[in-house]
Amino acid sequence: MSEFIKFKIKNNIATIKINRTKKKNALTLEMLERLSDIGESLKSEKNLLCVLIMGNDGIFCSGIDVTNFASLANNKTLLNSLMDPLEELPYNKMQKPCIVWQELAVPVIAILEGPVFGAGLQLALGADIRISAPTAKFSIMETKWGLIPDMGITQTLPKLMNYDQALLATLTSTLITAKKAYELGLITICTENPYQKGTELAEKFGSKSPDALRAAKTLYREAWKEANADNLQLEASLQTQLIGSSNQMEAVFANMEKRRPNFSKHSISDTKS
C-alpha cells in the first residue's frame, strides 16, 4: 500500500505524491489515513519550509476509490468509525486528510494537473495555494453518486468561491476547465508548468524569515476562518443519511448502467441536525 502515497522531505520541503496512476490516483481508505498521518507528523518538523502535494503522470486525483467504500452502506460500524468526529477534534477520519494541512504552520501547495475530482478536489482545497496546469479538469463530483461533498468543504470553499457558483457547480457536478476554475476562485495560479512554479515558490519562501512565513499563515488562517466549525459535523450527519439510502443506491446503479435514474420522493430530513 504505502507506495501509493510517496513522501519525502528534502531541503526542508515536504513532497507528498499520490502514486496510483493505474486507478487515476483514486484514494482508498488506507491512502486517506496515510495522508492524515503524514500531515500530523509534519506538525513537529521544526525546520519545515513548505509542503507540496501532487499527483503523478499527468493525474492529480480522480476522487475516492468507490469500490473501496462499497461495503460502507451495509456496515454501520465502519460508517460510524469514519463519520464520527475523532476524539476531541472537530473533524472525522474522512475530513482529516483534507483539513490537517490548515493546521500546519507552513504553507501547503497543491500542484494540479489532469482530473481533480471529488475527494481529490477537496484535498486540493485543503492546501493553502493551488497551482494548476491549463489542462487540469475540476469537478465537485459527489452529487453524481447521490452524495454531498463532506471532506471539509464547508471550511475551505467559502474562502474562495461565491455561494451561487459553488452551489451550481455542486448541484450539476459540472466539469470545470482550469481557465474557468481560475475565474471562479477555485485555483490560485494557472500556469503551463505547475511543478516548476511550485518549486520556484518553495525557493521564494526559503528566502523569507521562517518566523514571518509562519506568523503570516497563522494570522491569515484566523482572519479568513469560517465562523462555524460545527458545519464539519453537518457534512457528516447529512452524508450519513445519504449513504446507502434508496436514492443514493439508484444514483450509483443508474450511473453504472448508463441509464436515466428513477428516483423516489426525497426521504431524508431537511432540517439541520
Q: CB under 8 A: which stretch of 15-23, 32-40, 113-121, 197-205 binds a second copy?
A: 197-205
Q: CB under 8 A: which stretch of 52-60, 61-69, 190-198, 216-224 binds a second copy?
A: 216-224
x/- mask, a second copy, residues 170-189, rule CB under 8 A, reads xxx------------x--xx
- Residue entry with cell 468507490: 66
Residues 132-151 that bind a second copy (CB under 8 A): 142-144, 146-149
**89 grid coordinates:** 477534534
What number of chain residues touch a second copy (CB under 8 A)?
78
**C-alpha to C-alpha distance for 229 and 154, rounded to whole angstroms:** 8
**C-alpha to C-alpha distance for 112 and 54, rounded to whole angstroms:** 7
Q: CB under 8 A: which stretch of 24-32, 67-75, 77-85, 235-243 binds a second copy?
A: 235-243
Q: What is the DSSP string of 161-210?
A: S-HHHHHHHHHHT--EEHHHHHHHTS-SEE-S-HHHHHHHHHHHHHTS-H
Residue of 11, 209, 257, 258 interacting with a second copy (CB under 8 A): 209
For a second copy, the closer of residues 22 and 212 by Cβ is: 212
Q: CB under 8 A: which stretch of 34-42, 93-101, 115-123, 244-252 binds a second copy?
A: 244-252
CB of 134 to a second copy, least distance (A): 17
Residues 72-131 that bind a second copy (CB under 8 A): 105, 107, 128-130
For a second copy, the closer of residues 31 and 141 by Cβ is: 141
- Residue entry with cell 468526529: 85
Angle (CA) 97-218-190 rounded to 5° is 65
Burial status of residue 87 (CB atoms within 10 A of its CB: 0-12, 13-18, 19 or more): exposed
Q: CB under 8 A: which stretch of 19-27, 31-39, 76-84, 199-207 binds a second copy?
A: 199-207
Give the amino acid at 231: N
Q: What is the DSSP string of 111-152?
A: EE-SEEETHHHHHHHHSSEEEE-TT-EEE--GGGGT----SS
262 contacts a second copy (rule: CB under 8 A): no
Residue of 21, 56, 165, 177 interacting with a second copy (CB under 8 A): 165
Residue of 87, 222, 257, 258 interacting with a second copy (CB under 8 A): 222
For a second copy, the closer of residues 1 and 171 by Cβ is: 171
Non-local CB neighbours of 51 within 8 Å, separated by 6+ positions: 13, 14, 15, 16, 42, 101, 104, 106, 107, 108, 109, 127
Residue of 168, 196, 229, 253 interacting with a second copy (CB under 8 A): 168
